[in-house]
């Protein structure tokens, strides 16, 4: 017999996975996307396939799997949202980090990100897009490109 806590954990994991699959399918059905965005979405599907392979073959822990799966979902959602806002077939360079990873991306005062507003620029190269909570808090940045 499965202990109650284990049964609940399995149910929660299943529901999270089902939600991710539904969101992935909904994003992928957008036939209005151009070739760049469709390529990006295909890349995200390949990344998820790779994660599924790694967890199936015990190459990564369940915690690493969930973190990576959630990071991919946040990145995909952020890119699609920005593409829809801008109305162009151009995939912005998006970086999604956890609070513990902020100092790897933001050199000067990474803790300031926790109080940042969307559009705020850090280190003259990262524009803060926002944060998303999926298992844990993710901070989303877009690389600023000089045209």
Model confidence at 117, pLDDT cuts 50, 70, 90, reads very high
- Give per-residue pLDDT as tens, 48-107: 999 999 999 999 999 999 999 999 999 999 999 999 999 999 999 999 999 999 999 998
Q: What pTM was computed for the model?
A: 0.75
State whether 98 and 132 are in the same domain.
yes
Tell me: do 52 and 33 sit in the same domain: yes
Domain check: are 126 and 54 in the same one? no
| pLDDT tens per residue across span 10-44 | 433 444 444 544 444 444 444 589 999 999 999 99
Domain identity same for 99 and 83: no
Q: Does residue 97 share a domain with residue 43?
A: no
From CA 53, how far away is CA 42, in angstroms rounded?
Answer: 17
Task: Convert the pLDDT of each residue in 132-144 to its tens digit.
Answer: 999 899 999 999 9
Domain count, the chain: 2
- Specify whether 32 is located in the same domain as 72: yes
C-beta separation of 106 from 122 below 8 A = yes
């Amino acid at each position: 017999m499965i202990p109650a806590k284990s049964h609940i954990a399995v149910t929660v994991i299943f529901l999270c996975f089902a939600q991710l699959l539904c969101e992935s399918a909904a994003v992928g059905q957008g036939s209005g996307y151009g070739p760049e965005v469709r390529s990006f979405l295909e890349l995200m599907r390949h990344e998820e396939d790779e994660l599924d392979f790694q967890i199936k073959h015990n190459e990564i822990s369940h915690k690493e799997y969930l973190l990576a799966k959630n990071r991919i979902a946040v990145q995909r959602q952020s890119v699609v949202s920005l593409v829809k806002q801008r109305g162009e077939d151009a995939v912005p360079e998006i970086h999604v980090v956890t609070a513990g990873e902020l100092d790897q991306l933001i050199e000067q005062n990474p803790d300031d990100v926790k109080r940042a507003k969307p559009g705020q620029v850090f280190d003259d190269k990262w524009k803060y897009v926002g944060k998303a909570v999926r298992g844990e808090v993710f901070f989303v940045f877009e690389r600023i490109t000089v045209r």
